[in-house]
Structure 1
Amino acid sequence: MSAAQDVELVEPRRIAVHDSRDPLEERGEVSPPQDAVSVEDVPPNGGYGWVCTACVFMLNAHSWGLNSAWGIFLAHYLANSTFKNASRLEYALIGGLSISQSLLSAPAVNISERCFGMRGTLLIGTVLLFVALFGASYSTQIWHLFLTQGVCFGWGLGFTYIPATATLPQWFSTRRSLAMGIASSGAGLGGLAYNLAAGAIVQKMGVNWAYRILAFCGLAVNTVCSLLLKDRNKAVQPLQNAFNYREYGRVEVMLVVAWGVLTELGYIVLLYSLPNYATSIGLTASQGSVVGAVLNLGLGVGRPVIGYYSDAFGRINMAALMTALCGVLCLALWVPAKSYGVLIAFALTAGCVCGVFWNTVTPVLAEVVGLKRLPSSFGVICLALVVPTTFAEPIALEMVTASGYLSAQIFVGFMFLLAGVSTWVLRSWKINEVELKAAREQHQLDHGGNEGDADDAEDHGFWLTPRMFLRLGRV
């Protein structure tokens, strides 16, 4: 490779001639257009894309942000023994269920997009979120919460988050990670606002009216944003396979799955357990709620910053480094955090990096699988995260019950560290792919565009080598 390529391994592509063939096409699963022109779509990289960014920001704030208010409702239920014979494990399952069901809905979301379009799917999600919160306000038994706050809210979250997240990358190229960082920060800032708002409403008007007020807020904002958000499917022409199990046979997809599974086993525990940890070290319930709010503040502040530097220094680079950094923070700050000040410092710093998977997964996927395969690949990855998101908090709760918080803290720290390692391996794979593509293009130039000779470049090298792991550059 040339010196310029050695410094910057991945450049945003504007127009690509003689691009590599899609493996799906090679196996005959997708028939390429007969009169196809090998010119890639050029995203606007701004313009109405910023309106779409604002819409996704608000959708995240009124879906993921609303979900984070569960911690306030949970504290109320535990303090007042609202549901008789309900155990802490059941409450922990409800929180995990709302997230896992959103991921389980991925195949149905993909089918809905094919039948009703992106906007119709978002409106379905908006209605489901409203029904979930409004129905939860009339819960009289614990199984009512499982159906409303758990299952129904989770499916509404999936029908809102998945299509919006897959749509936004279509509008950007060089600013893609920045736009995704801004949009995903809505989850953190929305969580901060709704944690504080729900706490105040519960104290003044009761938990049932808190649910109803949040339900109508989400209905109003999500409806407007669903109508304003636009996709560019006509230009991008993404593949709309509802579930393509062959994606699990691709090493790059499985590395993203490993990154997601390991990250979620740590992220869910931090999101739901930090306020409870605060009370376990002698802090008040009010201080614990502030710790949870500060974690959400870190999510809101850190995601745009990570997005900006991802565009500058490489999307996979930042994903790997920030994921590993969160593991270091858990071991270095959370384990010795026995005072309010230290815990606040940990919540803020860890909040900036603990949600890096959801902040960077779509830009990373766009780099790894391309925009055409992004929707179907993202759905397959979401489905693989159902089990860890469901049982992460119960696993941590059992650890705490058996041997205290130290074991859970070490568990969370190592999950993030291992997730960082898996992402670094993905980086090695991507570097090798870039070199293979460069070799194929060079073969075509040397042999007058003969693609048959270019296929010899497939034997260019093996990507699981120290040279690939230690290779510097923007990836």
Structure 2
Amino acid sequence: MSSTQSPELVEPRGAETHELEDVQRKQPEVTPPQDAISVEDVPPNGGYGWAWGIFLAHYLANSTFENATRLEYALIGGLSISQALLCAPVVDLSDRYLGMKTTLFIGTLLLFAALFGSSYATEIWHLFLSQGVAFGWGLGFTYIPATATLPQWFSTRRSLAMGIASSGAGLGGLAYNLVAGAIVQHMGIRWAYRILAFCGLAVNTVCSLLLKNRNKAIQPLQNAFNWREYGHIEVMLVVGWGVFTELGYIVLLYSLPNYAISIGLTPSQGAVVGAMLSLGLGVGRPVIGWYSDSFGRINMATLMTLLCGVLCLTLWVPAKSYGVLIAFALTSGAVCGIFWGTITPVLAEAVGMKRLPSSFGVICLALVVPTTFAEPIALEIVTASGYLTAQVFVGCMFLLAGTSTWLLRMWKLNQVELKAAREREQLDEVGNTGAAVSSFWFSPRKLFQLGKV
């Protein structure tokens, strides 16, 4: 996975540790130089992917392909995201040897071929290859290099910048849900694919021509993929956050329009519900990014993840009318995509800038399986027990994800205290510090301890 780092990166103490007020020493905060910039890749979520919720609802309501099952349709949606994660090493090689613009053009052509080819699909395996595999690879080839370019232009307020940029997935999803839903209703699903294919070709071509990185100026380091990162407790807690979040997030992403139809709403109303989820995402991410910089990145990620779980259980479960479902879509949309909106700033807090590329790579690999099978699991649950069980499942997944970040917060608080103690020369050597961390970071005192992390 592409990752860029300045070889002379200066890590500001305040930005990385956000030390507790009761242990913070009175010393000036070190500000990184303007050329001390790190790039973190954020795998795609949203964008074109939101439109699959409309297509999925259509396929489930109509026998488009003979003998196709609900499980097969759900797997296609999962593949479109997991393949974008899986192809990241290939994207890294392409970006390294062919250049960013060539990589973006490859992705643009793959996306066009995937959507245009889907319009001519006559059997379900055609969709697996086009909408699933080709689309996922096209998404990876366009989104990863583009997102990796953004942090090169910022040295402060990076969470806000990432929030604003990633809000495009929500705002784009708003347009795609409304447009795709209207086209499917009036012109059919085949023309919906073709129109979206040509729109994407035009927009992505322009963006590919205009995007510019600063690799020559900052001389980026090559990415490293280190399996040993799985042995670090902080990395595994982030993995748990990602796995549980994806199991809930993708179900919301793809199932909400179909759920709207299941309670008696029209397909067009289902498209609007999906669009409101996208609108919430587009509005929520910049706000979350802004407060993450000041309130604490891990703190914000924990609260928003837990809030999404609570909303699913208290607002989605009783949502049997159009108005209530719209309210749920807007509020949950603002927080359901918290993982991809804050993962790189949170991970930087947990592992530091030097380890971020390698740890991020192993985390993405761990998410391939849940992103592939989240929606199939949900549809099987719906088939066996109805939507109520699926709703409870989604809510519990977000609560478990929030628990993972809460544990990460406890671990980080302990790290902050230990660092402050070392600086006051209260700890004798690093070896003792490691033992203390592994034995005592999990304690009741840290469950509700105040601190900016």
| TM bucket normalised to smaller | 0.7 to 0.9
Helix, strand or coil: the match of 1:69? Answer: helix
Shift of 1:339: 1.6
Q: Which moved more, 1:189-198 or 1:204-213?
A: 204-213
User: How far 1:238 moved relative to its partner?
Assistant: 5.4
Verify the 8 A CA contact 1:181 1:305 in the aligned structure 2.
yes
Cα 1:87/1:137, change in 2 over 3 Å: same
1:189 is matched with which residue?
171
Q: Deviations over 1:262-281 (max 9, x none)?
A: 00110111111112222222
Give the direction of change, closer, same or farther, for the CA distance of 1:92–1:9 in structure 2 (3 Å limit). Answer: farther
1:362 to 330, 344, 347: 344
Q: Does 1:275 align with 2:257?
A: yes
Distance 2:269 2:228 in 1: 48
Pair 1:463 & 2:445 matched: no
* Distance in 2 of aligned mates of 1:99 and 1:270: 14
**Equivalent of residue 234 in structure 2, options 222, 245, 252:** 252
Kindly indicate whether the alpha-carbon contact (under 8 Å) linking 1:108 and 1:242 is maintained by their aligned counterparts in 2.
no
Shift of residue 208 of structure 1? 2.5
Of residues 406, 419, 427 in structure 1, which corresponds to 2:401?
Answer: 419
Q: CA separation in 1, counterparts of 2:152 and 2:233?
A: 24
Superposition CA RMSD, Å: 3.1
Q: Percent identical across equivalent pairs?
A: 76
Which of the residues 128, 136, 142 maps onto 2:118?
136
| Alpha-carbon distance in structure 1 between the residues aligned to 2:319 and 2:172 | 26
Closer, same or farther in 2 for the Cα pair 1:389/1:421, shift >3 Å?
same
1:91 equivalenced with 2:73 (yes/no): yes
| Counterpart residue type for residue 99 of structure 1 | I
- Aligned to 1:123, the other structure's residue is in SS state helix
**Within 2, Cα distance between the matches of 1:203 and 1:284?**
11
CA distance in 2, matches of 1:43, 1:136: 40
Query: TM-score with structure 1 length normalisation?
Result: 0.82
- Note the C-alpha offset of 1:41: 4.9
Q: Deviations over 1:141-182 (max 9, x none)?
A: 111110000001011112222333344334334411111111
Deviation per residue, 1:97-147 (Å, 9 max, x gap): 111111111222233333234443333222221221122122121111100
Q: Following the alignment from structure 2 to structure 1, what is the Cα–Cα distance between the partners of residues 387 and 268?
A: 20
Contact residue 170 and residue 281 of structure 2 kept, 8 A:
yes
Select the residue among 229, 239, 244 that pairs with 1:262. Answer: 244
Is structure 2 residue 103 aligned with structure 1 residue 121?
yes
Shift in Å, 1:259: 0.3
Counterpart in 1 of 2:51? Answer: 69
Query: Per the alignment, do residues 12 and 238 of structure 1 end up closer, same or farther by CA in structure 2, a change over 3 Å counting?
Result: farther
Question: Quick check: 2:174–2:275 contact (8 Å CA) kept in 1?
Answer: yes
Whether contact under 8 Å (1:9, 1:431) holds in the other structure is: no
Pairing partner for 2:316 from 320, 323, 334: 334
In structure 1, distance between residues paired with 2:319 and 2:417: 45
For residue 7 of structure 1, the aligned residue among 15, 21, 32 is 21
Aligned counterpart, 1:207:
189
Q: Aligned to 2:47, what secondary structure does the other structure show?
A: helix
Distance in 2, Cα, partners of 1:233 & 1:315:
27
Encode CA deviations 1:265-305: one digit per residue, 9 max, x unaligned: 10111111112222222222222222111111111111111
**Residue in structure 2 matching 1:226, options 176, 197, 208:** 208
> Displacement, 1:353?
0.6
In structure 1, what residue type is equivalent to 2:441? W
Q: Which residue of 2 aligns with 1:287?
A: 269
Match status 1:159 vs 2:173: no
Shift of 1:441: 4.0
1:31 corresponds in structure 2 to: none
Of 356-365 and 375-384, the range deviating more from structure 2: 375-384
Deviation at 1:422, TM superposition (A): 0.3
Pick closer, same or farther for the CA change 1:404–1:172 going to 2, 3 Å. same
In 1, are the aligned partners of 2:174 and 2:279 still within 8 Å (CA)?
yes
Q: Paired residue for 2:36?
A: 42
Aligned length: 432
Q: Look up the SS of the partner of 1:473 in the other structure.
A: coil
What is aligned with 1:216?
198
Instruction: Determine if contact 2:111/2:197 at 8 Å carries over to the other structure.
Output: yes
Superposition deviation, residue 419 in structure 1: 0.3
> Following the alignment from structure 1 to structure 2, what is the Cα–Cα distance between the partners of residues 158 and 100?
10
Mark the runs of 5 or more structure 1 residues left unpaired by the alignment. Answer: 16-38, 50-55
Counterpart secondary structure, 1:195: helix
**Distance in 2 between residues matched to 1:121 and 1:269, nearest whole Å:** 30
1:166–1:375 CA contact under 8 A, matched in 2: no
Report the counterpart of residue 28 of structure 1 in structure 2: none
- Aligned partner (choices 369, 384, 392) of residue 366 of structure 2: 384
Letter in 2 for 1:471: Q
Q: Name the CA distance, whole Å, in 1 between partners of 2:152 and 2:418.
A: 26
Stretch moving more, 456-465 or 355-364: 456-465
Q: 1:106 aligns with which of 59, 76, 88?
A: 88
Distance 2:318 2:60 in 1: 27
2:305 to 323, 334, 337: 323
Look up the match of 2:180.
Answer: 198
CA distance in 1 between counterparts of 2:239 and 2:430 reads 31
Q: Which residue of 2 aligns with 1:474?
A: 452
Please state how far the C-alpha of 1:198 moved relative to its aligned partner. Answer: 1.7
Distance apart, 1:420 and its partner CA? 0.4
Q: Is the 8 A contact 2:19 2:416 kept in 1?
A: no
Go from structure 1 to structure 2 and tell me whether the alpha carbon gap of 1:372 and 1:186 turns closer, same or farther (over 3 Å shift).
Answer: same
User: Which stretch has the larger CA shift, 308-317 or 245-254?
Assistant: 245-254
Aligned partners of 1:241 and 1:9: how far apart in 2?
35
Q: Secondary structure of the residue that 2:98 maps to in structure 1? A: helix
* Structure 2 residues without counterparts, runs of 5 or longer: 1-17
1:125/1:360 CA distance change after superposition, 3 Å: same
